[in-house]
Amino acid sequence: MQMVESQRRDCQDPISALFFPTMNLHTTGRFPAYRPRRLRQSLALRRMVAETRLSVESLVWPLFVCAGSRVRKPIGAMPGVFQLSVDELVKEATQAHQLGVPAVLLFGIPKTKDARASGAYAQNGIVQQATRALKKELPTLMIITDVCLCEYMEHGHCGLVAKNDQTGRVLNDPSLDLLARTAVSHAEAGADIVAPSDMMDGRVRAIREGLDQKGLSDIPIMSYAAKYASAFYGPFREAAESAPHFGDRRSYQMDPPNANEAMREVALDIEEGADIVMVKPALSYLDILYRVKTEFGYPTAAYAVSAEYSMIKAAGANGWINEQAVQMEALLSMRRAGADILITYAAPDVARWLKG
């Protein structure tokens, strides 16, 4: 039987039907009664009907902290980004916080690395020191710490590698305890949220249990739930000095062709106790972001990774694009796709631009 026009118009995808039961083609007028251009005529009008907005409250600024004092080491592949010693980090974070940036995400570059990543969970490790200093100076700044072992491992992988194994096979279960210890030591130093980025299976549960056992059950976990093995991390590995010395990360980070698998990763992390789930990278994975938000409805973060930042910076510096406009548009696309939280190296710039 042929569908009549009104029935055909009622067809919509099941997800939208669930969340927006009245949103179907009946609610849209027809030309010439309906002219979409009417609501685009002035800035005030466009702003009033804007469906999504960028606001400073959703920004998280990633920072790289290193040993020493008065250190500001520029990252060649990330113009405007530095490795900072704790004293300089506090200065930078103070400025960003004054601009309204509510949170930072800390990565540590330790003085020495070893085969058990002991710097990651050392009580006086670099992230732990930075966390204490920031908490003291800026009690209202939220401190999120990246929980991973790669920056602290002599081989640069995100988990333990069997002795004398040069194939880069990363051992899953034995790494979990080290990750949990790292998260606990960050929280004990004052971290407000811990963010595991290692992609070992089961790490959210291990971290949740580790925190709970120490009476830290109020510390949320923001898991890098759908983290892809991406070439867009290139500049970061210079910044964090964390490139693997052999092999690559494809045996633990997600394979870029897969989307359904990302839903399983997110489901697993939520079941294990994740409070916020992240999709990373952002711009090339907006479909994943959209699905994660619509299918789970959890607080969702998008990580605009190093190359996403560097490409915009480079093209802007060459005069090929308008850096500010492109940066804002890229971040807006992440909000539109469903991100509540935007992790971006451009956070202070964006905060400034939003102030106008």
In this chain, which of 88, 146, 272, 323 binds ligand PBG, going by CB under 6 A? 146
Cβ(331)–Cβ(59) below 8 Å: no
At its nearest, how many Å lie between ligand PBG and the CB of residue 262? 16
Nearest to 161 by CA among 173, 170, 153: 170
150 binds ligand PBG (CB under 6 A): yes
Q: Which stretch binds ligand PBG (CB under 6 A): 93-101, 110-118, 142-150, 167-175?
A: 142-150
At its nearest, how many Å lie between ligand PBG and the CB of residue 74? 16
152 binds ligand PBG (CB under 6 A): no
Cβ(214)–Cβ(188) below 8 Å: yes
Cis peptide leading into residue 36 (ω within 30°): no
Give me the catalytic one of 227, 293, 313, 355.
227
* Minimum CB distance to ligand PBG smaller for 213 or for 229: 229
In this chain, which of 157, 203, 208, 249 binds ligand PBG, going by CB under 6 A? 249
* Minimum CB distance to ligand PBG smaller for 148 or for 266: 148
In this chain, which of 175, 306, 310, 327 binds ligand PBG, going by CB under 6 A? 306
In this chain, which of 236, 252, 285, 290 binds ligand PBG, going by CB under 6 A? 236
- Is 280 assigned a catalytic role? yes
Over the window 66 to 105, marking each residue x when it contacts ligand PBG by CB under 6 A and - when it does not, the resulting string is ----------------------------------------
Give me the catalytic one of 113, 280, 293, 313.
280
293 binds ligand PBG (CB under 6 A): no
At its nearest, how many Å lie between ligand PBG and the CB of residue 224? 7
Q: Which of residues 194-233 bind ligand PBG (CB under 6 A)?
A: 197-198, 233
* Minimum CB distance to ligand PBG smaller for 2 or for 181: 181
Tokens of residue 340, six digits: 């509540």
Residues with Cβ within 8 Å of 38's Cβ and at least 6 positions away in sequence, in order, are none
In this chain, which of 90, 158, 183, 225 binds ligand PBG, going by CB under 6 A? 158
At its nearest, how many Å lie between ligand PBG and the CB of residue 294? 25
126 binds ligand PBG (CB under 6 A): no
Residue carrying structure tokens 């790494």: 175
In this chain, which of 104, 183, 282, 305 binds ligand PBG, going by CB under 6 A? 305
Residue carrying structure tokens 């990360």: 249
Residue carrying structure tokens 């294990």: 272
Which residues here bind ligand PBG, judged by CB under 6 A?
146, 148, 150, 158, 197-198, 233, 236-237, 249, 305-306
By annotation, the residues acting in catalysis are: 227, 280
